[in-house]
Structure 1
Amino acid sequence: MTVLAELLRAVDAGEVRELVKGGIGTPLARTLGERLGTAPEVVPDRLTLLRRTGLASLDHGTWTVTGVGDAWLLAPWAERWTSLTDAWRDTLDPAVREVLDLAGADWHDLVATGRWAYPAGARWLDAELLTVAGTGSALGLVVDGTLTTTGAALLAGAPDAADRATADLPDTVPGVYLQHDLTVIAPGPLAPVDDAELRAVATLEAPGLAARYRVSEESLARAFRSGLDRDAVLGRFERLSVSGVPQPLAYLVDQVAERDGSIVVDLGPGGVGSVVRGTADQLDLIGVDAELRQVSWDRPDLTTLTTRYPAQVVHTALRDARYPAVLTAAAQATVEAAPPVRRAAGRDPQQAAHALVERLRLTTERAEGEPEQEWLGRQIDLAVRGRTPIRLTVRMPDGSERPFSIVPTSVAAGRVRGKDTAVDVERTLPLSLVVAVESDA
């Protein structure tokens, strides 16, 4: 089932292409075989099985995953096994079923049994029985030519088939191990839902019962562009991990989130229009960008822009202007066609005046705190150049203030990094939370 699931995901990713003359090419079969850990000549048969059971479809040379296939990928392992066997059994010819009933548990030579049952049978029956024998082994119903008791129950659709399947399958593991080198180790089979969630933020490197995944900038960027935000990604890692989230991984998530997921486009109130959220600096640039002036932004607060245009249109306009915008999951469900081509209708002069005054007020409030932050940043820069130990007073989330004695090494992206002289570890502190800088020499 693991091979079938991985092959179905390859179909979903658009990696399976049919030749004009039919079938898949040998290079593609070899590539898929290496990825799936199976022989290349087996891949076409497995594709046929996916199509036969309704998990995938082939239309005009294009392979696609069906709705049944999407649901099957998220179903528990036992349900996968039973539903797949049921779907395969329903496609068998009545003559084949009769031969299987006659063979019982002995599947060593189904062709001989078929010829005994149908002496005048055509060649198609021999070929079909050979295919059935191979498929039975691939589905785990047959071992060394013998139909297992669980396989017999599944093939017969017995009431206790699901319970037997659950008993025969290995237990799923409760979580994964997140490594400092950004690899993710699953010590056993994951529940399909957990596996799907992990694949959304990491790339599978080594499939199998004990799989290995890797988190990279590309995988995180893909997750952010699919609608996940920083908190959702970190929350997913925290839920799936049994060893906590290592600092290098958390730092990478923050770094990629600032670049690829820091501007979020969501639906407006009641599903009308759009709401864009980001940092004040980012929205300052967007608000004055000449390429986006036709969007006619309103700015209710420093970190929010609103417009009457649909979320899909706003997202496309921002991406075209090279802003790291992502759509929320709710906004992705709405697809709007035309981009904005005209300015919004003029507003009432009194409303425009009030909006202007509000923007000026917000800008003034923001500017009041900037000189102090600039002075603190300049002091830290001097300490970095001179490798001078300093003491930073940082405001904690609970409102308290805590001192840190560090030797700063860099100031970038709104953070100061340095070596904590008290505990001999490297720290990364948000510059916005630093309230005081003192020399610690």
Structure 2
Amino acid sequence: MSGTLALASAIAEMDRDALESLVRRRRPQAPAGVLDPIGLAAELLRPDSILRALSPLDRDALAVLLGLAEEPRAGLARDTDTRTAERVSALLALGLLGVEDARPVALPEVTNALRHALMTAGHRPDDLSTPPPSRSGDNASAPPAAPPSADSWVTAALTAVGQTAECLRVLRDRPARLNRSGSVAVASVRGMAESIGIEADHAAQALAAADRAGLVASGGSSLVVSERAEEWTESDHIARWLDLAATTLATIPAPLRAGLVREEPLAAIAAGLPERFPLLSEAESTAARRFVVAAEYLGLSSHGRLSSVAELLHSGERAAAERLVRDLLPPAAPGVYVQPDLSVIVPGPLAPADEIDLAALTVPEHIGVASTRRVTEASIAEAFSRGITPHQARAAFARVSLTGIPQPLDYLIGSLAERVGNIQVSEHHGDDGRTRIVVGSSELADTLTVDRALQHLQLHRVDPTTLCSRLRADHVLAALADARYHASSPRARASAKAATESTAPPRAQDAHDDLPEALSDLVERVFLAARSEPGTSNFTRRLELAIRDRVPVRVTAEARGQQHTFLLLPVSLSGGRLRATDQAAGVERTLPVNLITAVESA
């Protein structure tokens, strides 16, 4: 016996919002072929569609499905129980129950698929009615553990924000390679972690958090920063964390969300999912475990328990969460301590402008609530190659340093200014050569022309600060680097910028985003068909199903006070008339729909 008619009846009773919710959750695979409730019911009763819908259900909901299938009337009697009634309503909304004689009924296709899936997963259907076994280590008599203290998550939160910012800076200059699966290559993650001075696992977590927040994007075979990343880095550390936290909480797996209680650690909830959700896929279980790790990394939880801030964010109270975060997280530090050994002690998060300037002139050594950075010859030279002048570098250190500019730092900036001098290498088309080198001073130009390490470039002077070479620009850049001259190329910077802006950040589809056009059109067709003439009565849908499946039915019609029953093979139903083949008489009959009083299976 098919459950198509019962499910079609349930679909026909749905209002537009309920129907849209059903289509959004079940996502029919062939929407173009769905024209009416019968068509949608047939699509939702496909085995693959049923399994996808059953997978996230807990054992109580599955038990209700089996209960209605085994003892329909007893199952309905239990609807007086509020919790059971709520589950039945949820199952109807999900298209896993039908309606017959105004009562919810089990669908044979769903029942069969559920029994087979349970047996495949190693569960006995009869076991659903018994509570799951206690997990090892559980102690029902033990008092609940104390919730995390108000500031126990702060260290993790500030560290995650700092590491994510550093990862974005690395990606800005060196996009990470993507595997064919779309994940970041392990070698790229390790290289990024080494350059920042953090663990590879932390770099992976930071990239994942940035991805959820839309701060990175796929640029072909590479991962690059998105346009939104600049806005994020220009925000203070509190706004940054709130962004990472909210976007991560929005991705919490549904099974984990269903069991989210503060009295139990997230890890314990995740470990118990296979018992609570017997048909949960391994992929969904893995996603739950990964979320637990991500929550701990970002400071959403501490020792496995959600913080009060995370609870506010999870419940949608963003304003209250922000007020609490601003009370608990430290304000921006007034400055940093630059040591004579060129190390830089950062006592806390900095104002965005100070952080950006300091990051442009230093390299990270340790990222945390208090961080350590270092000024190196390479970091200053790289800053000069980006267009920062020696005067700007000194001004930046003078502004952020609480200890002034130590003599070793002043000497390093001065000596590199003489040596680097903003050497710009660009392609040149003319009689002078193929490459033009523009330097910041005539003295530096003199040094380059007499340096033996550069003699093979055959440099010749065009004006006091401009040199030309007949070699290609990439050869000139390599030679200057080998001779320890730090040069830059506008073309290279433009290419890096183009790679960064090559694509928009990917966005995970929100549960309330607009439906794709094909699914939106499906909702409209089904909604209108359920309310169109010749009616939406139960026997009309039986005729539609018989037409669709090309099976005969017994049709009873009443005329002039007499009833007549025919064995008919329905052909079409339109204009208020049924056209069908009378298989017993061997003729075609046309019956007005308003005369039909019953339609039964043959």
SS at match of 1:57: strand
Conserved? CA contact 2:337–2:403, under 8 Å: yes
Using the TM superposition, give the Cα deviation of residue 182 of structure 1 relative to its aligned residue in structure 2, in angstroms: 2.0
User: What residue number does 1:106 align with?
Assistant: 264
Structure 2 counterparts to residues 394-409 of structure 1, below 5 A = none
Q: Say whether residues 1:165 and 2:322 are aligned partners.
A: no
Distance in 2, matches of 1:9 and 1:284, equals 35
TM-score, normalising length: structure 1: 0.57
Question: What per-residue deviation string (whole Å, max 9, x for no partner) do you get for residues 162-182 of structure 1?
Answer: 222222222332111222222
Conserved? CA contact 1:194–1:240, under 8 Å: yes
User: What residue number does 1:252 align with?
Assistant: 412
Distance in 2, matches of 1:121 and 1:334, equals 46
The higher relative CO (CA closer than 8 Å, separation ≥ 6) is in: 2
Distance in 2, matches of 1:11 and 1:334, equals 14
Distance in 2, matches of 1:233 and 1:208, equals 25
1:137 is aligned, of 285, 292, 296, to 296
Distance 1:11 1:285, change over 3 A: closer
1:155 is aligned, of 314, 328, 336, to 314
Conserved? CA contact 1:175–1:186, under 8 Å: yes
Conserved? CA contact 1:7–1:36, under 8 Å: no
Using the TM superposition, give the Cα deviation of residue 247 of structure 1 relative to its aligned residue in structure 2, in angstroms: 2.0
User: What residue number does 2:362 align with?
Assistant: 202
Using the TM superposition, give the Cα deviation of residue 78 of structure 1 relative to its aligned residue in structure 2, in angstroms: 0.6
Q: Say whether residues 1:237 and 2:397 are aligned partners.
A: yes
Give the partner amino acid of 2:233.
L
Distance 1:53 1:326, change over 3 A: same
Using the TM superposition, give the Cα deviation of residue 6 of structure 1 relative to its aligned residue in structure 2, in angstroms: 3.4
Distance in 1, matches of 2:353 and 2:250, equals 27
Give the partner amino acid of 1:206.
H
Using the TM superposition, give the Cα deviation of residue 278 of structure 1 relative to its aligned residue in structure 2, in angstroms: 4.3
User: What residue number does 2:376 align with?
Assistant: 216
Q: Say whether residues 1:57 and 2:217 are aligned partners.
A: yes
Give the partner amino acid of 2:167.
L
Distance in 1, matches of 2:459 and 2:353, equals 40
Using the TM superposition, give the Cα deviation of residue 97 of structure 1 relative to its aligned residue in structure 2, in angstroms: 3.7
Distance in 2, matches of 1:75 and 1:119, equals 44
User: What residue number does 1:126 align with?
Assistant: 285
**Any unmatched runs of 5+ in structure 1?**
266-273, 306-314, 336-441
Using the TM superposition, give the Cα deviation of residue 236 of structure 1 relative to its aligned residue in structure 2, in angstroms: 0.7
Using the TM superposition, give the Cα deviation of residue 259 of structure 1 relative to its aligned residue in structure 2, in angstroms: 1.2
Give the partner amino acid of 1:25.
V
Distance 1:198 1:153, change over 3 A: same
Using the TM superposition, give the Cα deviation of residue 134 of structure 1 relative to its aligned residue in structure 2, in angstroms: 1.8
Distance 1:244 1:200, change over 3 A: same
Using the TM superposition, give the Cα deviation of residue 44 of structure 1 relative to its aligned residue in structure 2, in angstroms: 4.2
Using the TM superposition, give the Cα deviation of residue 229 of structure 1 relative to its aligned residue in structure 2, in angstroms: 0.9
1:185 is aligned, of 345, 350, 359, to 345
Give the partner amino acid of 1:8.
L
Distance in 1, matches of 2:262 and 2:305, equals 9
Distance 1:83 1:224, change over 3 A: same
Give the partner amino acid of 1:106.
E
Question: What per-residue deviation string (whole Å, max 9, x for no partner) do you get for residues 305-362 of structure 1?
Answer: 8xxxxxxxxx999969969797899xx7799xxxxxxxxxxxxxxxxxxxxxxxxxxx
Distance in 1, matches of 2:439 and 2:201, equals 51
Give the partner amino acid of 2:314.
L
Distance 1:145 1:34, change over 3 A: farther
Using the TM superposition, give the Cα deviation of residue 113 of structure 1 relative to its aligned residue in structure 2, in angstroms: 6.6
Conserved? CA contact 1:141–1:151, under 8 Å: yes
Give the partner amino acid of 2:311.
A
SS at match of 2:185: coil
Distance in 1, matches of 2:237 and 2:477, equals 40
Using the TM superposition, give the Cα deviation of residue 235 of structure 1 relative to its aligned residue in structure 2, in angstroms: 0.6
Using the TM superposition, give the Cα deviation of residue 199 of structure 1 relative to its aligned residue in structure 2, in angstroms: 1.9
What do you get for the CA RMSD once the two structures are aligned?
4.6
Using the TM superposition, give the Cα deviation of residue 60 of structure 1 relative to its aligned residue in structure 2, in angstroms: 4.8
Conserved? CA contact 2:381–2:486, under 8 Å: no
Matched length: 314
User: What residue number does 1:393 align with?
Assistant: none
SS at match of 1:200: helix
Q: Say whether residues 1:72 and 2:219 are aligned partners.
A: no
Distance in 1, matches of 2:487 and 2:191, equals 36
Question: What per-residue deviation string (whole Å, max 9, x for no partner) do you get for residues 240-266 of structure 1?
Answer: 11111122211221111011126689x
Give the partner amino acid of 1:164.
L
Question: What per-residue deviation string (whole Å, max 9, x for no partner) do you get for residues 251-299 of structure 1?
Answer: 221111011126689xxxxxxxx9x784455679999xx9888x9x7x8
Rg larger for? 2
Conserved? CA contact 1:53–1:91, under 8 Å: no
Conserved? CA contact 1:54–1:68, under 8 Å: yes
Distance in 2, matches of 1:13 and 1:248, equals 28
Conserved? CA contact 1:99–1:113, under 8 Å: no
TM-score, normalising length: structure 2: 0.43
Using the TM superposition, give the Cα deviation of residue 83 of structure 1 relative to its aligned residue in structure 2, in angstroms: 0.9
- Percentage of identical aligned residues: 27
